[in-house]
Homo-oligomer: A and B are copies of this chain.
């Protein structure tokens, strides 16, 4: 059994990690850290829990763990990971701390990176593209939620080198904003659909661009710090009155004329054998992946304008966060990649 601990276990990403790790056949969950809840039982933060380690201070929570999941606010992992790695533990970080080039990080997050030398150690944990470098990784940067859906929606055409332009409209359930986020009270979120941080203002923008730039430069399989071509795109997220789910609607102008069946074939070939990705003819919807570590992709050509639309749906807390982190654990330890992860979710 792999002994795992979670730091930041009183946030939504932490809650979903608890659920998945408790059910994982090869993992023993040995510690939960949360400053606010230290000393209290797991159920103090999470009404659904009947059992689990008590919350503790970080040092105690991670003491017996060999792998530590960091579900902490941005800026925490860069201070914490160095110590954990020195202690010989592996780290899977769900924050943005190890995802970006340090100059890009500073430009978008507003403060300089405090552990830039660690970045070379980090592997970017989008398993579908980085699987070949993840086995044995000591530090994994788990991708952003929108980033996961957008990158997987667009990687096949970027790998093919045929993208002329991309614009992305995306929408997320409210849990994506995190526990206690401002502006997410039920009475003012219900019956409301709204854009936020649009058009170059959301921090997932450079992460999507970086990923697609690497695909453009490297093709099917990526090396985290390998070559990257420049990509610029417009990204507009929206908030949906639902708890879970992300849908990405990407508008794509291709440099080459293709039929719909041909592009579908290209996508299916690209993701051939990927257990969590399904490219289909049915349009994706968030409910179809609720609770599952699944990605559903479909595409449509607008015959009248020549623009393509590519759709991808995920559960933001599973494939967009905790599920993908568990997938990374599986990849790092060489386990069956689907261990402890549902391919199909709940309906209705």
Residues on A facing B (Cβ under 8 Å): 12, 15-16, 19, 22-23, 43, 46-50, 167, 169, 171, 173-175, 179-181, 184-196, 198-201, 205, 232-234, 236, 238, 240-245, 247, 249, 251, 278, 282-292, 294, 300-305, 307-309, 311, 313, 342-348
Are A185 and B180 in contact, CB atoms less than 8 angstroms apart? yes
Are A241 and B238 in contact, CB atoms less than 8 angstroms apart? no
> 17 extra interchain contacts, Cβ-Cβ under 8 A, other than A19-B344, A234-B305, A251-B251?
A12-B348, A19-B347, A47-B288, A50-B344, A169-B251, A171-B193, A174-B185, A187-B348, A190-B243, A191-B244, A191-B286, A193-B286, A194-B286, A200-B304, A201-B300, A243-B348, A291-B346
Across the interface, which residues of B come within 8 angstroms of A167, CB to CB? 167, 251, 307
**Closest CB of chain B to A86's CB: distance in Å?**
34
- Chosen A-B contacts, 13 in total, with CB atoms closer than 8 Å, are A19-B344, A43-B282, A47-B285, A50-B294, A173-B191, A179-B187, A190-B243, A192-B242, A196-B283, A198-B311, A199-B302, A236-B309, A244-B348
Are B347 and A48 in contact, CB atoms less than 8 angstroms apart? yes
In the complex, the count of this chain's copies comes to 4
**Closest CB of chain B to A226's CB: distance in Å?**
23
Are A50 and B234 in contact, CB atoms less than 8 angstroms apart? no
Are A187 and B175 in contact, CB atoms less than 8 angstroms apart? yes
Across the interface, which residues of B come within 8 angstroms of A12, CB to CB? 187, 348
